[in-house]
Amino acid sequence: MVSWPSPLTLWKPIPAAAARSPFAALRHTPLPGLDPEWSQLVSARTDDGDRGFHVLDTGPALQARGITPTGTILALHGNPTWSYMWRHVLRSSVEQARPGQAWRVIAPDQLDMGFSERLAHPDPPGPHATSYRGMEQRLNDLDGLMDALDVEIDKPLVTLGHDWGGVISLAWAVRHRNLVQAAMSLNTAVDHPHAEPVPTALRAAMTPGVLAGSTVLTDAFLRVTLSLAEGGLEPEVAAAYRAPYVSRLGRGGIGGFVADIPAAAEHPSREALERASSGLQQWEKPTLLVWGPKDPVFRDRYLNDLLERVPHADLHRFEGAGHLVSEDRDIAEVLFTWLQDQFGMTGPPDGTSPPPAEPPTRLHEQLEAMSLSWRRDSPAVVDMTAGPEGATLSWQQLNTQVDTLAAGLHRLGVRRGHRVSLLVQPGNSLTVVLYACLRLGAVAVVADAGLGIRGMTRAVRSARPNWVIGQRPGLVLARAMGWPGTRISMDPLSPRAARALGTVASVQRLLRGDETPALKELAHPEADDPAAILFTSGSTGPAKGVIYTHQRLGALVALLRHHLQVKPGSSLIAGFAPFALLGPAIGATSVTADMSVTKPATLTARAVAEAALTGEATMFFGSPAALRNVVATSAELTEQQRTALGRIRLVLSAGAPVHPDLLDQVAQLFPQAEIHTPYGMTEGLLQADIERKEVHRAMATGQPGVCVGRAVAGVRFALAPLDGLGRPAQQLLDPERAQGTLSELVVSAAHLKAGYDRLWLTDRQSRRDEKDDLLWHRTGDVGHIDEAGRVWIQGRLQHVITTAEGPVGPGVVETPVDALDAVARSAAVGVGPAGTQAIVVVVEPAPGQRLSLGSSPLAQPEVSRAVRAASRQAAVSAVLVVERLPTDIRHNSKIERTALAAWAEQVLAGQKVSAP
């Protein structure tokens, strides 16, 4: 047995110019087959500070062709090669890419190798080594590099390696088994019994006193390795492999890798190797081994060891090929063919977006994955309501708190299927509590304070929660109103306060425990188990509890990732509560802006800018009311805050249709952003979407209502035409059969509600037509779908005005009237008997405008003429003025048309009534 030498000492880095501009130093060294456009330098955080990595990456090349990658291959070279060895795989990634089947290939040079940063060490080296970069450090290096790269981990992530890159890539896949979906490897080894001699080909290089001379002081080890190619390498190719190692100053990594072979039991890297090799025995993901049997180092005994550890692995032996199998054979063909068989990704023939891939069926799984990923120390949630600097939890911290609280709640008696009412303001605390419930399989009941005391009381009593978790104001209300459920406070209470509020525990005290071992014994909830009951806004009647299962929420998360590109590693400002709560399930950092979430109009431009600065956010989600106030307060911004808003790339507004004029004002404040206004509802958050510029193109067609775009991937629309009394048909029609007909919109999608809670008839009515054996939801919205497939909203079904000429959606009138300079907002309501109603328009003056006739609510004659001229598609009988239109307190954007219609009828009947 060969005794283990002392580790090799590495030395000076290559010149800074060469390290910073790798190809600048290679003008006289051809690199056949390698496109310089793939090359980039990346700074990444490692165990010993920021380090520079040279990376070959086909992502930009695919983007330039307009192709979105459907998966990522992380390819790792071994010793003494560099990322050049993957050039054929990189080229195939670009040349064979097509929509729906395109693999981005990322091939980094490991530190001290290729054109990555060289580590400073004594010069010249002695005959024995004193330090080197071990296997555990290299795994951590890879974590830091992947954190620095923009990798979509919600899409297939596959590792690929060769030689020592093979064992490191497999070890990294095992470490991140929740993120890596498959592994591929060329010749490598994951175990070497320490009692057995190393292969003869390595034995000489590892001998003390020879190691430095053969690997660093000379290029002997490099030349021997390159000579292993079948038939020899072309001179230009061999020169390209030698290019980073022409001087001993660049060959330190070659010696370091040899020194890191953990052949001896006491070797520092032995533990990391054994952890990886044992972990492979539990590896159940798809695996491909590509092997050159003539390898003098990695002989068949290493292949057999791999197959024993991963018996389900697919194997392709290239007979006659050796150690440099990637040079001997076309490995790209077998790699990409195997990936196609495993993932079956194909693009739709018509070029439309495919539906999202199957998501994790439980929302907390993404949180667990992020806590184990290379992003584990990055911010997961940032709560700006906690102060100017915000309160931040990393992914690892958030997951730890969720697990600890889930275990503590279980010890307290919370069980799978129990309903838990959450009376906690959006922010970090609510996120922890919500995901702890999801982990246990408890059902989160969410009815926000915007419903008012009566509305919340009705909602909570209908849901009948087993438990109530709340902050002090919510617990006081629960006690006073006699809401059901055993109470748990967020913060520790004095014995007297706990008795007064009837609490049995506090979340903060449960978080001090260490109950996570008990959590491992609990089964995860099933995909079809209820996950949450979310109450609607109550703007069109009593709030309804909408049931979501884990699978349906998972489908929603997958859709958000796919359509809006809200991917893991993104950062978003959540001025719209659902996105704050879904952030951890997406893998995106959620920044809660400093605002009252029950009053969206309290969100200011400064609050958004400070959230963008603190959370490094590139996305902003807010309601229309929030957007209006952000625009209104934009004059208060400093130059630094305006710059922060200039970095926002996506603005999304949901909750109600948004007028094009407001979108244009938002665009001036966020000059680099795409501005989207998706259409959805509590029962299905995202159904259609449109970007600001498309809104203008659509509105120019002169169609009635507000255009909310086209159906997103996986969503189908049908129509139920209205009769003369505004009643929707029972028979559903495909959009092309009812074009231009005012109809109720009906949708079907995997992310729709599972049902209404304890409202059997309402639930039955909402889905009473199961067209094509699909589950359909009647939205209660009316409008039409044009020949271009665009969806137009004209209002709510209960607000349809039934004139003698036929039903009219209020949006037909409101959209053009809202565009008048003197009008801030308008509402069209029907007055009189059904079937013969008159159209009355109630307007809210723009700031500084006076539109009423004296003290009367009647509009001035010129105002009435302007309103009638604008709403030429419908006959307006009267125009009234109010200082402010009544809206529901939850959204501040949905007008209370039912109350407004009753008021208008009294005014026109000559009664003296106060403003609505």
For the CA atoms of 505, 508, 514, 517, the dihedral, rounded to the nearest 10 degrees, stands at 70
Q: What is the DSSP letter of 340?
A: H
Name the token pair of 135. Answer: 């296997």
How far apart are alpha carbons 70 and 301 in whole angstroms? 36
Contact 664, 626 (CB under 8 A): no
CA–CA separation, 467 and 445 (whole Å)? 10
Neighbouring C-beta atoms of residue 871, cutoff 10 Å = 23
CA distance 693 to 711: 17
The whole-number pLDDT of residue 517 equals 64
859 close to 853: Cβ distance less than 8 angstroms: yes
Separation of alpha carbons 82 and 243, rounded Å: 10
Q: How many CB atoms within 10 Å of residue 188?
A: 24
Domains along the sequence of the chain with CATH: 16-343 (3.40.50.1820), 687-799 (2.30.38.10), 800-908 (3.30.300.30)
Let me know: does 601 contact 892? Beta carbons within 8 Å.
yes
**Cα(628)–Cα(893) distance, integer angstroms:** 10
Provide the Cα torsion 284, 286, 292, 295; round to 10°.
Answer: -30
**In the structure encoding, which two tokens stand for residue 588, read together?**
């995106």
- Our separate counts of H helices and E strands in the chain read 33, 35
Contact status, residue 794 vs residue 742, Cβ threshold 8 Å: yes
User: Could you count the other beta carbons within 10 Å of the beta carbon of residue 903?
Assistant: 23
Handedness of CA 449, 451, 452, 457 (dihedral sign): negative
Maximum separation of any 2 CA atoms in the chain, in Å: 108
pLDDT at 888: 60
What is the reported pLDDT for 843?
A: 94
pTM of the entire structure? 0.74
pLDDT for res 21: 39
Mean pLDDT of successive 10-residue stretches along the chain, which has 916 residues = 25 36 51 90 91 94 89 96 97 89 95 89 49 87 90 87 96 92 95 65 57 82 93 93 90 86 78 90 93 89 90 88 94 90 58 48 78 86 80 93 93 94 90 94 88 86 92 93 94 94 95 74 87 82 87 89 78 75 86 75 88 89 85 91 92 78 90 91 90 90 89 92 93 86 92 88 72 78 93 92 94 90 93 94 93 90 93 86 77 74 91 82
* DSSP string over 602-663: G--HHHHHHHHHHHT--EEEE-HHHHHHHHHTGGG--HHHHHHHHT--EEEE-SS---HHHH
Q: What does the angle CA 144 – CA 146 – CA 148 come to, to the nearest 5 degrees?
A: 70
| pLDDT reported for residue 199 | 60
Q: Which long-range contacts (CB under 8 A, 24 or more apart) does 604-607 make?
A: 604/629, 604/630, 604/633, 604/636, 605/630, 605/631, 605/633, 605/634, 605/636, 605/637, 605/641, 605/645, 605/669, 606/633, 606/636, 606/637, 606/641, 607/384
Can you tell me which residue has the tokens 């600001």? 692
d(CA 320, CA 475): 75
Per the omega criterion (within 30 degrees of 0), is the bond before 495 cis? no
Alpha helices (H) in 107-186, listed in sequence order: 135-148, 164-175
pLDDT at 773: 62
β-bridge partners, 53? 42
pLDDT of residue 350: 37
CA distance 301 to 869: 87
